[in-house]
Amino acid sequence: MMPVIIEGEIPKDPRQRIRAIEEAMRAICQSAGEDAADGVMALLTAAVHITMLNSDLSKDELPEHMAHALACAIVTATAWFRPSRSTREGENG
């Protein structure tokens, strides 16, 4: 398994932690010669695996639980990272 070395302070802001995870996944994909789609699948698969290891959900309950989690993640990412319409149109950028 690849060792993970974290240098510096872990961000307290969850948005910054998400950005750090994104950057780590980009670096892994670049090193492996893969594109971002591979990284997305790796992150989704890791999320399911972590859930399986840390919950008592049956294999029948897992898809609905993960679908709900993904929906919540989409709402959060949209709220946290999607630029406002005025920024996209160049009004505030």
Cα angle, residue 14 at apex, residues 79 and 5 outer, rounded to 5°: 140
Q: Where are the domains of the chain?
A: 50-80
Amino acid at 93: G
Is 70 exceeded by the pLDDT of residue 88? no
Percent above pLDDT 70 for the chain: 90
Model pTM? Answer: 0.76
Phi-psi region of 70 (alpha: psi -120 to 50; beta: other; left: phi over 0): alpha
Sign of the dihedral through C-alpha 51, 52, 56, 58:
positive
Could you give the angle at the alpha carbon of 87 between the alpha carbons of 82 and 93, nearest 5°? 125
State the pLDDT at residue 91: 52
- Over residues 13-70, the pLDDT tens digits come to 999 999 999 999 999 999 999 998 999 999 999 999 999 999 999 999 999 999 999 9
pLDDT at position 87 = 59
